[in-house]
């Protein structure tokens, strides 16, 4: 890749920030801490589903040597890392479908599944 390894790290970190920024309000609605708003839920879920596909481009081979929050296993166990990526993307797609129904009750379990996929990948591949 032509991208500098440090820029690849910044790219994936930026993507995760956008993901976090949009997942937060969905968690708030699922917990009842923020009033349910179908339009806002759909907006955040759209961005989450789109951005769920994006951080992976920043895990370039040569960025493995840049110190970051990512464990070396993300590269040495690439198949497993990919499975986690795909699980997250699938959960984000399901959350988008749930948000589009406009049914507040559908949001909570779908948000829970996304959160589980975040945590599973962090447990395996993110430094603590």
Q: Say how far apart CA 55 and CA 77 lie, in whole Å.
A: 17
HEC per residue, 79-120: HHHHHHHHHHHHHHHHHHHHHHHCCHHHHHHHHHHHHHHHHH
**54 CB-near residues (< 8 Å, 6+ apart):** 15
Residue 52: CB minimum distance to ligand ASC, A? 12
Q: 24 vs 32, which CB is nearer to ligand ASC?
A: 24
Question: What SS3 class is residue 32?
Answer: coil
**Does the footprint of ligand ASC cover residue 119 (CB under 6 A)?**
yes
Q: 4 vs 119, which CB is nearer to ligand ASC?
A: 119
Report the candidate in 28, 36, 49 with the shortest Cα–Cα distance to residue 91: 49
Residue 4: CB minimum distance to ligand ASC, A? 26
**Does the footprint of ligand ASC cover residue 125 (CB under 6 A)?**
no
Rule CB under 6 A: which of 20-39 touch ligand ASC? 20, 23-24, 27
Residues in the chain: 128
Q: 3 vs 90, which CB is nearer to ligand ASC?
A: 90
Residue with tokens 């699922």: 30
Q: 4 vs 31, which CB is nearer to ligand ASC?
A: 31
Count interface residues toward ligand ASC (CB under 6 A). Answer: 8
Q: Which residue ranges make up the site for ligand ASC (CB under 6 A)?
A: 20, 23-24, 27, 115, 118-119, 122
């Amino acid at each position: 890749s032509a991208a500098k390894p440090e820029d690849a790290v910044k790219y994936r970190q930026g993507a995760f920030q956008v993901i976090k920024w949009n997942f937060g309000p969905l968690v708030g609605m699922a917990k009842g801490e923020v009033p349910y708003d179908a339009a806002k839920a759909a907006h955040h879920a759209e961005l989450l589903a789109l951005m769920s596909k994006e951080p992976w481009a920043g895990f370039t081979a040569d960025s493995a040597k840049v110190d970051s929050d990512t464990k070396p296993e993300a590269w040495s166990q690439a198949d497993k890392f990919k499975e986690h990526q795909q699980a997250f993307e699938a959960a984000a797609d399901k959350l988008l479908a749930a948000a589009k129904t406009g049914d507040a009750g559908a949001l909570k379990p779908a948000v829970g599944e996304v959160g589980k996929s975040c945590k599973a990948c962090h447990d395996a591949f993110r430094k603590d």
